[in-house]
A and B are shown apart, each in its own frame.
Chain A
Amino acid sequence: MNENVIDRSRDITILEVLDRVLNKGVILTGDIVISVADIDLIYLGVKLMLSSVETMEKLKSGRH
């Protein structure tokens, strides 16, 4: 098995995690949502509700 950053470091910052998983990956938004409206995706990613920056600001303030 090939080692990747997630295996190697158990202490990846939550900033790094959210910067990736909330903003990127297969994203079904905008035009695509309209064209596949008959597919009952109930939820198309947190970004629709909450920007990652807002999330992280809350996260940080929650830690202090």
Chain B
Amino acid sequence: MINELIYVYCIAVNPPGLIDELKARGLKSIEIGQFNVLIKNVPEIEFSEENLKQNIADLRWLEANAREHINVIGMIMGYTSVIPFKFGTIFKTLESLEKFISVYSGSLLENFEFIKGREEWAVKIYCDRKALSKHIDELSETAAALEKQIMASSPGKAFLLQRKKADLIENELDRICKERGQSYFSELAILSEANSLNNLLPKEVSGRDDTMILNASFLVNSDKVSHVKDIFIKLGSREVNSSFHIEITGPWPPFSFISINEKTQ
């Protein structure tokens, strides 16, 4: 149809037929070569480049469609391995989609092989710096030494040293958070097959009062997942205070571990 575009959700291999719920939503699973591509015909009025730009600025539209995107992929992933596409990947014609699949088929197969039997898990760690600062003398020898000096000083000198300590605390909190983030990352990196460090999201974005200190994804062998979660819980329980909030979520579609390259001739 001339006024329709092809929205691609993901590529799967051998899905067990499209479940009714997805059919009802207008999704199609089309076979291209050895792959099944999950698509939906979408109207130009909503998804042409210009119209999409406008729609993305409409946050309700974006949220509804981003959720639809991930929900569809999640459903397919319940049955078979998927290569998820980024939100908003649209082809004008079936021919162009077929050409894309053909050009990248080798790389797609390599990706399927890479994610086979593996799961993507996401880890986000936040630090409540205010709560952590209350324990600073236990966590930082430098801060403890300065505190001793303050206690032994005259009021005037103590006042100046307090100001010095305030700066020191900020630096020490930075250091501790960095070390903690690195430590969690390293422990989990050893246990996983691949990892991906993502941008730390500022408070305005996370909507949380504490500070994000780690945002990472790990590709874990399916048979190791429960072991990894146990280790993770142990790591969390060694914290001496509740300044760190740790989130582990998954399995996600392997968004972070797909890398598509054109075949080399």
Binding site for B on A (CB under 8 A): 1-7, 12, 14-28, 32, 35-36, 39-47, 49-50, 53, 55-60, 62
Contact = CB atoms under 8 A, between A and B. Distances in A.
Chain B: interface size category? 35 or more
Nearest to A45: B86
Interface of B: 5, 11, 47-49, 52-53, 56-57, 59, 62-63, 66-67, 69-71, 73-75, 77-79, 83-93, 96, 99-100, 103, 122, 198-199, 201-202, 204-207, 215, 249-253, 255-256, 258, 260-262
Main secondary structure of the interface of B (DSSP, over half): mixed
A28 B258 CA distance: 11
Given A3-B78, A39-B100, A42-B90, A25 B66 contact: no
Contacts of B70: 6, 12, 17, 20-21
Contacts of B52: 43, 46
Given A15-B206, A21-B70, A26 B84 contact: yes
7 contacts: A2-B77, A2-B78, A21-B69, A26-B85, A42-B49, A46-B56, A58-B57
B63 A6 contact: no
A36 B202 contact: no
